[in-house]
Amino acid sequence: MIEVLYFASLRERLGHDREALEIPPGVSTLGGLAAWLAHRGGPWEEVFAGDETLMMALDQEAADPATDLHDGAEVAFFPPVTGG
């Protein structure tokens, strides 16, 4: 089981701030998880298969799509942010 967190505009677009998921068969990386989420269709496809850039973290550390996923992980997806 993994905990997936959605932040900022993703939370509003998806209607969820978090969910617990079993790691789907064949999904072993964060990129694979994002692709699997896109297959839910609707706003999920828009967020995860669209042209927008998503930032991601694994266990509160910045990560990229090639990062390996593990049972018990906390995964976060969020839009790019800027500071000033």
Q: How far apart are alpha carbons 41 and 31 in whole angstroms?
A: 17
Q: Which residues, in sequence order, are CB contacts of 6 under 8 Å at separation 6+?
A: 14, 16, 17, 18, 76, 77, 78
Q: Is residue 83 scored above 70 in pLDDT?
A: no
Q: What pLDDT does residue 51 have?
A: 78
Choose among 22, 26, 30: nearest CA to 68.
Answer: 30
Quote the pTM value.
0.91
Is the confidence at residue 21, as pLDDT, over 80? yes
For residues 39 and 63, what is the distance between their CA atoms, to the nearest angstrom?
Answer: 22
Average pLDDT over residues 38-58: 91
| Distance, CA of 1 to CA of 70 (rounded, Å) | 9
Query: Percentage of residues in the chain with pLDDT exceeding 70?
Result: 96
Instruction: Kindly list the structural domains of the chain, giving each domain's residue range(s) and its CATH number in brackets, ordered by start.
Output: 2-78 (3.10.20.30)
Q: In this predicted model, what pLDDT tens digit does every residue of 51-69 receive, in sequence order?
A: 778 999 999 999 999 999 9
pLDDT at 28: 97
